[in-house]
């Protein structure tokens, strides 16, 4: 479920960025995605999902760096 949430955030951000040339709108879309990814990381930590943590943590960190 968390991985799906991460994928949805990525798709929404990419879709928003493709539809506009506005840097401001692209920044907002990326900020929203990063906030979403932070929420997923916090959920992993709060629920001690150690198995999910390793898999998603790398994926989330890579996406934030993009």
In this predicted model, what pLDDT tens digit does every residue of 34-66 receive, in sequence order?
A: 898 888 888 887 887 766 566 667 777 777 777
In this predicted model, what pLDDT tens digit does every residue of 2-19 receive, in sequence order?
A: 778 888 888 888 888 888
Domain residues for the domain of 24 are 2-65
Please tell me the distance from the alpha carbon of residue 57 to that of residue 64, in angstroms, as a whole number: 11
In this predicted model, what pLDDT tens digit does every residue of 17-32 receive, in sequence order?
A: 888 888 998 899 889 9
CB 44 within 8 A of CB 2: yes
pLDDT of 13: 85
Based on the structure, what is the number of domains in the chain?
1
| CA 5 to chain CA mean position, Å | 8
């Amino acid at each position: 479920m968390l991985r799906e949430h991460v994928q949805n955030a990525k798709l929404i951000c990419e879709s928003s960025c493709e539809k506009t040339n506005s840097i401001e709108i692209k920044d907002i879309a990326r900020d929203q995605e990063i906030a979403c990814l932070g929420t997923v990381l916090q959920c992993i930590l709060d629920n001690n999902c150690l198995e999910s943590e390793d898999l998603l943590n790398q994926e989330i960190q890579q996406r934030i760096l993009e």
